[in-house]
């Protein structure tokens, strides 16, 4: 069964397995002790640190091992902010950072600090000028990922680092997704990563802090890992993480080129095989193994389960797969379609045959999910305008004498008082509001309006994205008595 979710966790690399088993026999003792077993464990820990530091591009005494990549981010953000508290309490983060960064930012804000989110374009790439403009005299820290975990877009770390250097602000780079594929980008002041992203064991993170960066560890500390990651080191896992990082980086150039060709194949063929698909992320400046696309009129959770039954393990940023029923913050910041979202991230060793099998299965799987939702025909021509004025019909199939469905709910919403047709999608979840819109758009003349009432948060993203994909004009949104009113004008 092909596993295509390496961006979440890569399969354990063979080198990691060998190193882990060996270290279980040799590295079980306390590396802080002076007896023979302790000294042997200390040698293993020092060697692992030196190997990881070489791949990161820092001194061994600048790098510590943490219990996870998330803990590395939390410790790095909190320690850097505390170390520069005399400068100020302003934090800058990218809008599409990993949730661990956003959680750290939220905690900082709740404690009285201020946070600025730097925007991204439709490819998910941060704007260096926006980061530079956000810098202030009280800015203590800026955070930017090296590459996005959901869509693979590489970030302009060097340009942002230069702006931060000029402003005297340290930059923390979250390199979790990229470190197994490329050297750490230049210009970082702090760097974090996570071993399970490159094929190391889970439960090992890296935190590197350049000499000269003011840093004050937060919370209880001890003598372990320079006081930045308290608690007994998981030495076998650390040894396996360092060994596998060195191994994957040794073959990264060749394997990355091979997987990039396979991903290019997916990027090019999915839109031809599956109607109404939006491939997202930067097509060029991206990770070599990752591609993300969204399918119109598709429930994300249903699609993932269907692909799983077909033998393919993929992931999604769709709101339909989220317990909060809100779209991915990454897709929302990019302003792209979120429904039916699929992230394919190929692990090392993926074959062309496996990718071809996926491409063969995908069209029928998407079609079956659409059929189950009674979705309109994909990429169908926009129906001709009805012969009678739309004012004679309030809702498709309803006599003009009847009140429009949901009309009482939009009373007082200026943007919809002239709406010819109102669709009540209240209580319906992604992708049903867009499906209901698609079913009735042909019942208004060119230039006519359809207003969708929805309380699903994903509609705020998916209705404008649908308009762009299908060539209609999105006229905006306004609060309604219940939910939100989204108005669309038919273009042709």
Catalytic annotation, residues:
320
Q: Residue 13 CA to chain centroid, in angstroms? A: 24
The DSSP output letter for 385 is P
Taking every pair of Cα atoms in the chain, the longest distance, rounded to a whole number of angstroms, is 92
β pairing state of 190-194 and 171-174 = parallel
β pairing state of 421-424 and 449-454 = parallel
Cβ count within 10 A of residue 461: 23
Cβ count within 10 A of residue 167: 16
User: Whole-angstrom Cα distance, residue 297 to residue 155?
Assistant: 31
Omega into 482 within 30° of 0, i.e. cis? Answer: no
The phi and psi torsions of 65 (rounded to 5 degrees) equal -100, 135
The DSSP output letter for 126 is B
Cβ count within 10 A of residue 174: 31
Task: Name the strands in the sheet holding 277-280, side by side, starting at the edge strand that comes first in the sequence.
Answer: 277-280, 290-295, 341-345
The DSSP output letter for 401 is T
Q: Which residue has the tokens 């990019």?
A: 334
Helices assigned H by DSSP within 27-93: 36-56, 69-83
Strand, helix or coil at 344? strand
Contact in structure between 125 and 76 (CB atoms under 8 Å) = no
Strand, helix or coil at 60? helix
Query: CA nearest 148: which of 342, 291, 337?
Result: 291
Please give the full DSSP string across 255-320, using - where no structure is assigned. HHHHHHHHHHHHHHHHHHHSSSEEEES-SSSB-TTEEEEEETT--HHHHHHHHHHTT-B-B---GG
């Amino acid at each position: 069964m092909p596993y295509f979710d390496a961006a979440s966790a890569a399969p354990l690399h063979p080198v990691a397995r060998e190193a882990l088993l060996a270290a279980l026999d040799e590295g079980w003792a306390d590396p802080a002790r002076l007896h023979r077993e302790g000294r042997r464990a200390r040698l293993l820990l020092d060697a692992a640190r030196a190997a990881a530091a070489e791949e990161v591009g820092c001194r061994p005494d600048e790098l510590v091992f943490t219990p996870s990549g998330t803990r590395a981010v939390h410790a790095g953000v909190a320690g850097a902010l505390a170390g520069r508290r005399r400068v100020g309490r302003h934090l800058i983060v990218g809008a599409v950072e990993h949730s661990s960064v956003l959680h750290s930012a939220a905690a900082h804000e709740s404690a009285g600090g201020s946070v600025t989110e730097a925007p991204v374009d439709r490819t998910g790439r941060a704007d260096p000028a926006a980061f530079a403009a956000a810098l202030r005299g009280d800015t203590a820290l800026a955070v930017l990922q090296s590459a996005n975990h959901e869509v693979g877009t590489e970030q302009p770390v060097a340009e942002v680092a230069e702006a931060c250097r000029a402003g005297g602000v340290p930059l923390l780079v979250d390199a979790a997704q990229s470190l197994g594929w490329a050297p750490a980008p230049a210009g970082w002041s702090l760097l974090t990563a996570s071993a399970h992203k490159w094929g190391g064991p889970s439960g090992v993170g890296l935190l590197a802090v350049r000499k000269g960066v003011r840093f004050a560890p937060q919370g209880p500390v001890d003598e372990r890992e320079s006081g930045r990651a308290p608690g007994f080191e998981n030495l076998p896992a650390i040894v396996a993480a360092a060994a596998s990082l060195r191994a994957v980086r040794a073959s990264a150039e060749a394997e990355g080129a091979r997987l990039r060709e396979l991903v290019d194949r997916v990027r090019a063929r999915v839109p031809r095989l599956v109607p109404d698909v939006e491939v997202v992320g930067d097509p060029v400046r991206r990770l070599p193994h990752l591609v993300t696309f969204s399918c119109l009129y598709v429930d994300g959770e249903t699609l993932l389960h269907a692909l799983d039954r077909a033998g393919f393990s993929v992931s999604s940023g769709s709101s339909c797969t989220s317990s909060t029923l809100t779209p991915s913050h990454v897709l929302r910041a990019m302003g792209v379609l979120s429904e039916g979202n699929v992230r394919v991230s190929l692990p090392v060793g993926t074959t062309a045959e496996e990718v071809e099998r996926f491409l063969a299965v995908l069209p029928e799987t998407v079609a079956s999910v659409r059929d189950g939702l009674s979705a309109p025909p994909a990429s169908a021509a926009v129906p001709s305008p009805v012969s009678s004025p739309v004012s004679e019909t309030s809702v498709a199939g309803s006599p003009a004498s009847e009140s429009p469905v949901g009309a009482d709910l939009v009373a007082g919403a200026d943007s919809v008082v002239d709406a010819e047709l109102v669709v009540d999608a209240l209580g319906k979840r992604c992708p049903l509001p867009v499906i209901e819109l698609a079913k009735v758009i042909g019942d208004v003349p060119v230039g006519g309006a359809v207003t969708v009432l929805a309380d699903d948060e994903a509609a705020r993203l998916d209705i404008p994205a649908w308009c762009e994909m299908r060539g209609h004009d999105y006229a905006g949104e306004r609060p309604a008595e219940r939910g939100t009113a989204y108005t669309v004008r038919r273009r042709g």
